[in-house]
Amino acid sequence: MGWLKKLVGAVIVLGGVGAVAGWVLSAPARLDGETLSQLGPGDAAKGKRIFYAGGCTSCHARPGAQGDARLELAGGLELKTPFGTFVPPNISQDRQDGIGAWSEEDFANAMLKGVSPSGEHLYPAFPYASYARMKLADTADLYAFMKTLPAVAGKAPDHKLSFPFNIRRGIGLWKRLYLSPEPVVALADGSPDKVLTGRYLVEGPGHCGECHTPRDFAGGVKKAEWLAGAIAAEGSGIVPNITPGGSGIKSWSEADIANYLETGFTPDFDSVGGSMVDVQRNMAQLTADDRAAIAAYLKAIPAHPNGYPARKPAS
């Protein structure tokens, strides 16, 4: 039976090595000192643009808030997904319950690396997989704008997640697969500045791919089907294909897309609905040039067939 003891011993050793490797590979990674040294005082006026491009109020405003109350970022909205229920936290300037005590460096690490000030992985329901493509200066500007918003007391409820999704350490391995600052769509050399700006807004702060791109079994977006539409993370609805080859906005012109983002009306005079209501409300706060840039990018990207199963006709 000596061979059995050796086999068991080898399994134990290999298991130990695997556990150590997994622990090392899953460690939270912060921005390095050289990168952080480039952070300067942000410009709150510029940060307002990034705030609305990023749609911060859509998740972090108190549920049902309207008007100026939407700037009271108390959190509490429940996002029910196949992985469990995520609850966006209070990100107001309250020093106890929000992020008022965060430094600019803390904020940049959360946005670009998905790491909290305490060194824990943040769940990617917070779309840092897209924010990772943002410019460092824009995170500084956003931080400066956030400092102008009110402090709101009260912690949001915790996430409701079951095993293994309640183990934050495992997110480090997920990040190795899906977290990258590189653009998703490789545009041709000499592409117009308008299209490049649109790529930045859509792929970075706008995080459009988080909803409009199908996901794999691990919850990462399928970049080969970028913006091809998807089954909604919540419920069984469909998020439309917004590439030039899909059924969503295939026939729309750039002017049609820009007008929709500003007014909420389609070329057929239908109005925006569902979760896109909040998105459009945020897009309306951007400049006409920004909306035109987003439209130009959406008409320039590769066409894909719909990234979700065909719907059955209503009976």
pLDDT digits (tens, 9 = 90+) for 256-304: 999 999 999 999 888 888 888 999 999 999 999 999 999 999 999 999 9
The pLDDT tens digits of the residues spanning 149-200 come to: 999 999 998 999 888 788 888 999 999 999 999 999 999 999 999 999 999 9
How far apart CA 272 and CA 251 sit, in angstroms, is 17
Asked whether residue 188 falls in the same domain as residue 113, the answer is no
Asked whether residue 211 falls in the same domain as residue 143, the answer is no
Asked whether residue 161 falls in the same domain as residue 196, the answer is no
Alpha carbon dihedral 140, 112, 77, 270, in 10-degree steps, equals 80
| Phi–psi pair at 291, nearest 5 degrees | -65, -35
The candidate with the shortest Cα–Cα distance to 103, out of 144, 62, 137, is 144
Asked whether residue 149 falls in the same domain as residue 240, the answer is no
Asked whether residue 160 falls in the same domain as residue 195, the answer is no
Peptide bond into 164 cis (omega under 30): yes
- Cβ burial of 168 (10 Å; 0-12, 13-18, 19+) is middle
* Residue 24 lies inside a defined structural domain of this protein: no
Per the structure block, which two tokens stand in for 25?
């590979």
* Residue 11 lies inside a defined structural domain of this protein: no
The pLDDT tens digits of the residues spanning 200-237 come to: 999 999 999 999 999 998 889 999 999 999 988 776 68
The candidate with the shortest Cα–Cα distance to 305, out of 232, 236, 225, is 225
Domain count, the chain: 2
How far apart CA 274 and CA 276 sit, in angstroms, is 5
* Residue 266 lies inside a defined structural domain of this protein: yes
Asked whether residue 209 falls in the same domain as residue 152, the answer is no
User: Which of 145, 180, 215 represents a domain boundary (last residue)?
Assistant: 180
53 membership: H or E segment, kind and range: helix 44-53
Asked whether residue 42 falls in the same domain as residue 136, the answer is yes
* Residue 175 lies inside a defined structural domain of this protein: yes
The candidate with the shortest Cα–Cα distance to 42, out of 105, 119, 131, 127, is 105
Asked whether residue 51 falls in the same domain as residue 175, the answer is yes
- Mean local confidence (pLDDT), 116-133: 96
Residue type, 161: L
Asked whether residue 152 falls in the same domain as residue 204, the answer is no
How does DSSP classify residue 240? P
* Residue 18 lies inside a defined structural domain of this protein: no
- Check whether 310 has a pLDDT greater than 80: no
Asked whether residue 255 falls in the same domain as residue 191, the answer is yes
* Residue 105 lies inside a defined structural domain of this protein: yes
User: Which of 155, 180, 205 represents a domain boundary (last residue)?
Assistant: 180
pTM for the model stands at 0.89
Asked whether residue 100 falls in the same domain as residue 236, the answer is no
User: Which of 180, 213, 239 represents a domain boundary (last residue)?
Assistant: 180
Asked whether residue 168 falls in the same domain as residue 118, the answer is yes
**Which structural domain range is residue 220 located in?**
183-309
| Phi–psi pair at 61, nearest 5 degrees | -70, 150
- Cβ burial of 13 (10 Å; 0-12, 13-18, 19+) is exposed
